[in-house]
């Protein structure tokens, strides 16, 4: 790294690319923020007002979103569905990944590869047969329709991710526990899971993010306004024909992105360590 010793080289190779990356990453949040508090006449009058800052800020759009629309109910629906689907997916993925990676049965690698390939199937193809099942089970237009269908695309990737993490845990730990008389369930609960906390958090963040932002299934399986999630409700309820409530739309998008941002900010260290396969010994 000696070539970074001089300031001009650090500016060109480190600081400038980092500044560009931060700008590209944060500019959408800035744009949503200023649009959410910008009056309607400033949103359309670019001759007298700059689109990049606010002259007369207002809270009318936020007031309309929170008190005159069903956004709080959409936010609650999204939270309930996301947490339930994430818990179900992580539990199923832990059991599947442990069985495939540590039980060493014949064809385990093939099963693991097949599970990951299932993740590559586009949701736009899966939602057609899933819709038939949802209608037959009487789950249409209910939270359970999404809670039970989201794991179809969450479990494959979470299983594949946890398989790689379980593989990095020394197998000798299990052999010692088996010699001491521990059962497979005790090994999983008392040895594997405590060592796999970064991997579990990473899988949980991944499942939470996908569930929170999912659109196709939520649009297909939910009809009533009170059961909609944030991505669907903001688009279908705040856009009336050719009239776009831009202030409320941006406020809804901003508030809807905050839970994911907060989640990443708290668990980013665990997420990074899980991606590198780190295991505390």
Distance of CA 83 to the CA centre of its chain: 11
Instruction: Determine the pLDDT at residue 164.
Output: 82
| pLDDT tens, residue by residue, 106-151 | 777 788 778 778 777 887 788 888 888 999 999 998 999 999 999 9
Exposed/middle/buried for 281, CB within 10 Å: 0-12, 13-18, 19+? exposed
Query: What architecture is domain 62-275?
Result: Orthogonal Bundle (1.10)
For 275, half-sphere exposure in the C-beta direction (CA atoms, 13 angstrom radius) is 8
pLDDT above 70 for 15: yes
CA torsion, ordered 177, 178, 181, 187, to nearest 10 deg:
60
Residue boundaries of the structural domains of the chain:
2-58, 62-275
Q: What is the pTM of this model?
A: 0.84
Instruction: Determine the pLDDT at residue 280.
Output: 43
- The DSSP code for 2 is G
| pLDDT tens, residue by residue, 176-227 | 888 888 888 888 888 888 888 888 988 898 899 999 999 989 998 998 988 9
Confidence of residue 239 (pLDDT cuts 50, 70, 90): confident
Report the run of H or E that residue 259 belongs to, with start and end: helix 246-275
Instruction: Determine the pLDDT at residue 281.
Output: 39
């Amino acid at each position: 790294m000696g070539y970074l010793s001089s300031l001009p080289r650090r500016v060109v190779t480190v600081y400038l690319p980092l500044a560009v990356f931060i700008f590209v990453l944060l500019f959408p949040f800035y744009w949503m923020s200023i649009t959410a508090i910008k009056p309607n006449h400033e949103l359309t009058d670019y001759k007298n007002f700059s689109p990049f800052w606010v002259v007369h800020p207002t809270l009318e759009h936020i007031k309309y979103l929170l008190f005159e629309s069903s956004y709080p109910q959409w936010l609650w629906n999204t939270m309930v569905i996301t947490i339930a689907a994430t818990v179900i997916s992580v539990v199923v993925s832990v059991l599947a990944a442990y069985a495939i990676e540590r039980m060493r049965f014949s064809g385990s690698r093939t099963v693991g590869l097949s599970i990951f390939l299932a993740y590559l199937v586009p949701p736009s193809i899966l939602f057609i047969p899933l819709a038939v099942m949802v209608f037959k089970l009487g789950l249409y237009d209910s939270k359970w329709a999404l809670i039970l269908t989201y794991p179809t695309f969450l479990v494959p990737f979470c299983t594949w991710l946890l398989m790689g993490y379980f593989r990095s845990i020394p197998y000798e730990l299990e052999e010692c526990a088996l010699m001491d008389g521990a059962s497979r369930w005790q090994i999983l609960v008392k040895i594997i899971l405590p060592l796999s906390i970064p991997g579990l958090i990473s899988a949980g963040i991944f499942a939470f993010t996908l569930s929170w932002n999912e659109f196709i299934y939520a649009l297909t399986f939910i009809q009533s306004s009170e059961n909609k999630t944030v991505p669907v409700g903001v688009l279908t309820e705040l856009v009336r024909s050719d009239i776009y409530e831009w202030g409320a739309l941006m406020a809804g998008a901003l508030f809807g992105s905050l839970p994911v941002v907060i989640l990443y900010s708290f668990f980013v260290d665990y997420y990074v360590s899980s991606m590198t396969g780190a295991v505390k010994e």
